Structure 1
Amino acid sequence: MNRDNAVLIIFGVLALVIGIALKLFIGRRRFYRRNSLGGEGFKNYRSSLLTPFWENLLTLAGGLLVFLGIIALAFAKWML
């Protein structure tokens, strides 16, 4: 195994772990913010606008990290 494969494997595993952790963290936050009727409760109007915006960006980033992690691990396997 050369240096390129090691870097790809390390990047792939880290990207997968961080991406999955981000998606689980955001999903947990959304789950616990819901009330008995299924609506999300916010403190004020500003947080009701900003919180979903940032959570959607983080969820997108987590999905991209998972995708890049899978691609990096596939390239590391292909380069062996």
Structure 2
Amino acid sequence: MDAVTAQLVLGIIPLVIGIGLIYWISRRKFYRRNAVGAEGFSSFEASVFIRFIERVGKWIAYALIIIGILFIWSYSQMKKDREKKQQEVKTEQQR
């Protein structure tokens, strides 16, 4: 696997994990709601702890998404540079 392909893989993996993490956290939050729309917790401490962990988890997910996007952008730049160099080599060979 060359560096360009590695950039693509390193971009897709954190992107998918970040999106999956946001989905999982939002799904848990949705299913905690009762008929009135309020979240149900067993205790105040559980409420504070779970909300804190979910907030941290969402920030981690956003960071993973940003990292994934940056790696994919880097992949596209590396691919353009590689194609440009190949084009230059072809024009040099034709001379």
1:1-80 equivalent positions in 2, closer than 5 A: 3-80=2-79
Rounded Cα–Cα distance in structure 1 between residues aligned with 2:2 and 2:59: 30
- C-alpha distance in 2, partners of 1:65/1:7? 16
Q: Partners of 1:71 and 1:30 in 2: how far apart?
A: 29
Q: Higher RCO, 1 or 2 (CA under 8 Å, sep at least 6)?
A: 1
TM norm structure 1? 0.92
Give 2:66's aligned amino acid: F
Aligned length: 79
Give CA-to-partner distance per residue, 1:18-58, whole Å, 9 cap, x none: 00100000000000001112111001111011000000110
Paired residue for 2:89? none
Matched-pair identity in %: 33
Q: The residue matched to 1:40 in structure 2 has which SS?
A: coil
User: Which range moves more in the overlay, 34-43 or 47-56?
Assistant: 34-43
Aligned counterparts of 1:39 and 1:76: Cα–Cα separation in 2: 44
SS of the counterpart of 2:48?
Answer: helix
Greater C-alpha radius of gyration: 2
Unaligned runs of 5+ in 2: 80-95
* Structure 1 unaligned spans of 5+: none
TM-score, structure 2 length as denominator?
A: 0.78
